[in-house]
A = this chain, B = another copy of it.
Amino acid sequence: MKIIYWTINVVILGVMTAVCNSANPCCSYPCQNRGVCITQGYDNYICDCTGTEFYGKNCETPTFMKRIKLWLKPSQATVHGLLIKHQWIWSIINYFPTLSNFIMKRIYLIRSNIVDSPPTYTSEHPYITWEAAVNLSYFTRTLPPVPLDCPTPLGIWGKKTLPDAQLIVDKLFTRDKFIPDPIGSNGLFIFFAQHFTHQFFKTDFKRGPGFQWGGHGVDVSHIYGQDKGSENILRSFKDGKLRTQEINGEEWAPFLKDANVPMHYPPSTPDELKFALGHKDFGLMPGLFMYATIWMREHNRVCDVLKGEHPEWDDEQLFQTVKLIIIGETIKIVIEDYVQHLSNYNFQLTFKPELLFGTEHQYQNRIASEFNHLYHWHPLMPDSFNISGTVYTVKDFMFRPDIVVKHGMKNFVEGMIKQRAGRMSHHNHHPSTLHVAKWTIEHGRELRYQSFNQYQKRFELPPMKSFLELTGDETLAKELEELYGDIDGMEFFVGLMVEKLRPRAIFGASIIEIGGPFSVKGLMSNPICSPRYWKPSTFGGETGFDIINTASLKKLFCQNMKEECPENIAFRVPDYVEGDVAEEVKNCCKRDKNNNESVNKNTEL
């Protein structure tokens, strides 16, 4: 089947190239299977198939070995199906480390090998440049931008002008009625995603959406500040600890007036609402402030533990070593709690850097522009939060870190645990986040992203053949058909947002299959995962190493709470029942009643 599909593809592309031969012949992306297209004169091109295991004019023919590999390789949908079903088999696999490690190593390698490392492109050039490898002020690009001399914004497909971004947002993104997430994610999950990813999604809007000001990975800059200057302001320089203040008998970050790090608060914000945090935007949401506080307390707690082990260490050694432990804890919790939850796999994911020793895994990372766009998960945001009986709308939450202080950490965390997140799909953006969706679409165009289907192919997913296949929803498919005209003319971000969810999943296939590689690569290529770092001495000895290797979301909260720890600390609401949102989806905003069936069928609710 696959070979027939290639052949058809190549014929179509040949015709298209002939039709469009007045333009750059690489605009039709004739080179398949990650072959690289270079022009050869004004109307010719060559595909460089080096390293692809394919050959032919368009790198369309697999080598004999590759043919066997392709034949043996299950589709990503099949793999997903296996991972979410057959719980009893997975229980056995999870029980035996040899089996579990074998699978985990495959996951690490398969996922991270999809990402180019060293990075190859930026948004500046549609070809490889030296700057792409070395200039850290760019986001990298997984697929290079569409050349400027192409007939349409997406190459040769779609309309000459893409539909108005505001129109798309109005028609496809606006929430009329809150639709809950089908796997029961809660407020703790929403703000974990936001706080964790904002340490590396740092667009430098002044220079343009292709530029960034972060450290390209898990550098805990959201806890310690972006640079050494900020870090020094946040440090107490005693026993390795960060500065804190006590309010209502609990430890919190210092006020901005006492620790002047770069922070962004509206001009009229009173001093007692302005806290000094590692990330300038973490005053925006109390949920971000909650995580900033918990990590600050965790840092100081671990300092005490290490000081007990090493009374001979000075402040500096305690601080530097605990910072490394905090990075380790972060990655451990991200993989074993956060990714575990959002994957919804029955296979138990583990953080074991040693599984990658001796492989060709590259311990370097660059944040991709596409990963940043893909991680715009604003539909997760509910309409309001209930903290100890007080209902706060999203607007009430804005720039009010003091809400956490007022209710106390325990009550705030309990509120987060119980609040259901929104469903990651179309027609579910809270009004306060719509402008971000609009920007994202506009930035994707400014960055000249290739089409949704080009990304499908890049990440080894079958390209969509129709809008109905993409969305599983006839009304939506019709709307998209009118807006875009051609499934190959569908743009990347909008495609992600309208894609039908996978069975038992929080996302559609693309967000998982495109986001997964970036995520695994970013986590496992952290320097602390490399052989010379990943050993007890790096973390102050066995005690510090154990803190990483036994870290969990539950412990993170429970070890840093003055009061008794809330029950059910997890990324899922406590009263979650699988399939409980079918009814809500049925009555969902703007859906034609005739389409209920297809929605249900495609999300398997």
Contacts and interface: CB of A to CB of B under 8 A. Distances in A.
B316 A125 contact: yes
A15 interface: no
A309 B323 CA distance: 53
A392 interface: no
A163 interface: no
Interface of A: 24, 36-42, 46, 48, 50-51, 116-118, 120, 125, 127-131, 133-134, 215, 219-220, 228, 309-313, 316-317, 320-321, 323-324, 327, 357-364, 527-528, 530-538, 540-541
Nearest to A535: B50
Contact of A219 (B134, B215, B220): B134
Given A117-B363, A360-B359, A310 B40 contact: yes
B320 A38 contact: no
Nearest to A220: B130
B39 A320 contact: no
Given A130-B327, A310-B40, A530-B118, A320 B360 contact: no
A541 B48 CA distance: 8
Interface of A is mostly: loop
B118 A40 contact: no
A318 to B, nearest CB: 11
Contacts of A312: 24, 39, 41-42
A321 B228 CA distance: 36
Contacts of A128: 324, 533, 537-538
Q: Closest 7 A-B residue pairs measured CB to CB?
A: A48-B537, A50-B535, A133-B527, A36-B537, A118-B527, A129-B320, A42-B312
Contacts of A360: 357-361
Nearest to A48: B537
Given A41-B312, A128-B537, 6 more contacts: A40-B309, A48-B535, A48-B536, A118-B533, A127-B317, A134-B527
Contacts of A320: 125, 127, 129-131
A130 B317 CA distance: 12
Contacts of A37: 537
Contact of A540 (B38, B309, B357, B541): B38
Given A40-B310, A40-B541, A46-B541, A324 B362 contact: no
B532 A116 contact: yes
A524 to B, nearest CB: 13
A373 to B, nearest CB: 22
Contacts of A36: 535, 537-538
Nearest to A120: B532
Nearest to A44: B312
A128 B323 CA distance: 11
Contacts of A39: 310, 312-313
Contacts of A316: 125
Given A50-B536, A532-B120, A536-B50, A127 B321 contact: yes
A204 B22 CA distance: 52
Contact of A364 (B363, B531, B535, B537): B363
B127 A42 contact: no
B38 A532 contact: no
Nearest to A326: B130
A120 to B, nearest CB: 5
A596 B42 CA distance: 71
Contacts of A533: 118, 120, 128, 133
A200 to B, nearest CB: 12
Contacts of A46: 537, 541
B364 A118 contact: yes
19 contacts: A24-B312, A36-B538, A38-B537, A39-B310, A39-B312, A46-B537, A46-B541, A50-B537, A51-B532, A118-B363, A127-B321, A128-B538, A129-B320, A129-B323, A130-B220, A130-B323, A130-B324, A360-B361, A362-B362
Contacts of A48: 535-537, 541
A68 to B, nearest CB: 18
Nearest to A312: B42
A370 to B, nearest CB: 16
A327 B134 CA distance: 13
A537 B36 CA distance: 7
A313 B527 CA distance: 39
Contacts of A541: 38, 40, 46, 48
A231 B455 CA distance: 34
Contacts of A324: 128-130
A320 B127 CA distance: 9
Contacts of A220: 130
A537 B51 CA distance: 12
